[in-house]
Amino acid sequence: MAEKVARRREVMVVLPGLMLAMMLAMLDNMIVGTAMPRIVGELGGLSHFTWVTVAYVLGTTVSTPIWGKIGDLFGRKTIFLVSIVIFMIGSALCGMAGSDLLGGVDGGMGELIAFRALQGLGAGGLMVNVMAIIGDLVPPRERGQYQGMMAGVMSLAMIAGPLVGGFITDHLNWRWAFYVNLPVGAIALALLVVKLHLPKVENKKVRIDWLGAILLSVGITALVLITTWGGNQYAWGSWQILSLVAVAVVSLGIFIPVEMRVAEPIMPLQLFKNRNFALISGIGFLLGFAMFGAINFLPLFQQTVQGATATNSGLLLLPMMGAAMVISLFVGQAITKTGKYKIYPVLGGVGMAVGMWLLSTMGVGTASWVTGVYIAVLGVGMGFLMQTTMLIAQNSVEQKDLGVSSSATTFFRSIGGSFGVSLFGAIFNNRFQEGLTGQFGAEAAEKIAKGGGRMDPATMTQMDPAMRHGLLESLSSAISGVFWWAILFAVLVPVLAAFIKEIPLRGGNEPAAEKVAVLD
C-alpha cells in the first residue's frame, strides 16, 4: 500500500508536465484551423491552405513510430524533451512565416507549410511519449485512471482550441496562434527536466528499423501527394501522378517483406492477423478522415459564408466538441460497467454518416444554429468512436503488444486525417473552380484564382454584392460537396464495426485469448 501511495505521489508530481505536453499537441491543430481564414487572407494561397494541416499531420504520422523506437533505445526522457524542443522551434518559425524577418509575404504560405511539417515532427514525439511514459511509471492495473485524465485533457483541448484560436485571430495577430505554444512548451519542458525520473535503460542493443521507417514515410508521402495533386494541380493520367503511384506501390511493396524479416519492425504485420485489430484500424482510419475534414472546413464556412467572427466560429464548433466529450465519457462508463462495446462503433458510424449528410445540405442561407445542430450530430458519432477504437485495439492483443497496438491505432487515425484533408482539399479546389466558372465564366474565374486566393471575410464585405454572392455560392457549394464525398467513407464504419467480435475485456496481465487472435 505504501509503495502504491509513493508511486501515485511521484506520478502526480510529473503529471502536469505530461498534461501540458499533450495539450500542446492537441491544441495546435484546433487553434490553427480557426485562424486559417485570416492566415489565407494575409498570405494568400487559398488553393494550398489545406497543406498547412496536411504538412503537420504528415510530419506527425511518419515520425510517431520512429519516436517510439528511439525512445526505447536512448531513454524516453531525453527523447521526449528533444521532441518538445523541436515542436517549439517549429512553432516559432511558423509564427514568423511571411514576415519581414523571413523575406516578406511573398512565399509566406510555402514557408508556413514547411515549418508546419517541422512542427509535426516534434508533435509525433509528444503524442507517443506521453502515453509511453505513463506506461513506464504506472503498472497496467493502475493506468486507467491516468489515461482517463489524459482523455479529459484531450477533450478540453478540443473545446478550448477553437475558442483560443478565435480570440487570438480577432484580438491579436494570427501569428500568436503559433507563438502561444512557446510559453506553454517552456513550462512543460522545465517541469519535466526537474521532476521526471524514469527507470534507467538497460544496456541492450535495440535495432531501429530505419529501412522500414524510410519506406513507410516515402510511401505515405507519395499517397498524400497523389490525393492532393491528382485532378487538381495535375491530371490523374499525368506523368507526375503516375510517377507518384509507382513510388507508392514500390516503397510499400518493399516495406511488407522488410517488416516480415526484421527483429523489431516499425509496424508489426502479424497484428493484422487479429480480426478485431484489423477492423478497428480501418475504423480509426475512417474516423481520422471525418474528424480532420470537418474541423478543417467548418471554420471556413462559418467565417466566410455565414459571416461569423473567428471567436464566434470557435464557439460555433462547441456543439461538436461538447457532444463528442459527453458521449465519450458516457461510453467509457457504460463499457466499464457492462463489459460490452461492440454496439458503440456501430452507433458511432451511423451518427457520423448522418452528420455528414446533414452538413452536405448546407448553403448560403443556412443559419448558424442549424449548422450547430448538424455538427452536434457529427460530434455524437465521433464520441461513440473516439474511446472505443483504442479500447478494442488494446483488448485484441496480448499485454506485451499493448504499446504497439496503441501506437498503430494512433498511426492509422493520423493517416486517415492526412488522406482526408488531402482528398477533401482536392475536391474542394475542383468544385470551387467549377463554381467560379459557372458564376463568372472561365476567364473571370481564372483571374479570381490567380488573385492569390485572398478571401479574408472583412475584405469580402466590401465587394460588389453580385461578386460577393457569386463567391459565396461557389464556396458553399464546394464545402457541401466535400461532405457529400465524406458520406461515402462514413457509411463504411458501421459496416466494418458489424464484424467486430465482442471479446471479454481483460484486466491486469491476463493474456489475450489465442482462439480469437487469428482471422476466421
Q: What is the DSSP string of 250-272?
A: HHHHHHHHHHHHSSS-SS-GGGG
Q: What pLDDT is recorded for position 354? A: 94
DSSP 510: P
Dihedral over alpha carbons 60, 63, 69, 71 (to 10 degrees) = -60
Any residues with CB less than 8 A from the CB of 14 and at least 6 apart, and which? 133, 137, 191, 192, 195, 196, 197
Q: What pLDDT is recorded for position 509? A: 44
Q: What pLDDT is recorded for position 516? A: 37
Any residues with CB less than 8 A from the CB of 514 and at least 6 apart, and which? none
Structural contact between residues 224 and 421, judged by C-beta atoms closer than 8 angstroms: no
Question: What residue has cell string 511518419?
Answer: 62
Rg (CA), the chain: 23
Per-residue pLDDT of the chain (520 residues; tens, 9 = 90+): 555 555 566 677 777 888 888 777 777 777 777 777 777 776 765 666 667 877 887 788 788 877 877 776 777 788 889 999 999 999 999 888 877 665 555 567 778 888 888 998 998 888 778 777 776 776 544 554 565 566 666 766 766 776 777 777 777 777 888 888 898 889 888 888 888 877 666 655 667 788 888 898 898 888 877 876 776 677 778 888 899 999 999 998 999 998 888 877 877 788 888 888 889 889 988 888 877 766 778 877 887 887 777 666 667 777 887 788 778 777 777 776 777 788 889 999 999 999 999 998 988 888 888 988 998 999 888 888 877 777 777 777 765 566 567 777 777 887 787 778 777 877 887 888 787 787 777 766 666 655 544 555 666 666 677 777 778 888 888 888 889 888 888 899 999 999 998 876 654 444 444 433 333 3
Grid coordinates representing 516 are 480469437
Structural contact between residues 230 and 423, judged by C-beta atoms closer than 8 angstroms: no
Report the distance separating Cα 500 and Cα 279, nearest Å: 7
C-alpha distances out from residue 391 to 78, 194, 471, Å: 29, 33, 45
Report the distance separating Cα 470 and Cα 463, nearest Å: 11
Report the distance separating Cα 21 and Cα 383, nearest Å: 23
CATH C-level class of 1-206:
mainly alpha
**Helix, coil or strand: residue 230:** strand
DSSP 99: S
Domain-wise residue ranges, the chain:
1-206, 209-263
Any residues with CB less than 8 A from the CB of 391 and at least 6 apart, and which? 335, 341, 505
Q: What pLDDT is recorded for position 32? A: 77
Q: What pLDDT is recorded for position 95? A: 85
Any residues with CB less than 8 A from the CB of 310 and at least 6 apart, and which? 34, 35, 37, 38, 165, 166, 167, 168, 169, 170, 299, 303
DSSP H helices in 138-235? 143-171, 176-179, 181-195, 210-229
Q: What pLDDT is recorded for position 205? A: 64
Q: At what angle do helices 108-137 and 50-74 cross, to 10 degrees?
A: 40
Report the distance separating Cα 353 and Cα 497, nearest Å: 14
Q: CA-based angle 53:373:419, to the nearest 5?
A: 25
Report the distance separating Cα 161 and Cα 298, nearest Å: 14
Any residues with CB less than 8 A from the CB of 207 and at least 6 apart, and which? 262, 263, 264
The whole model's pTM is what? 0.73
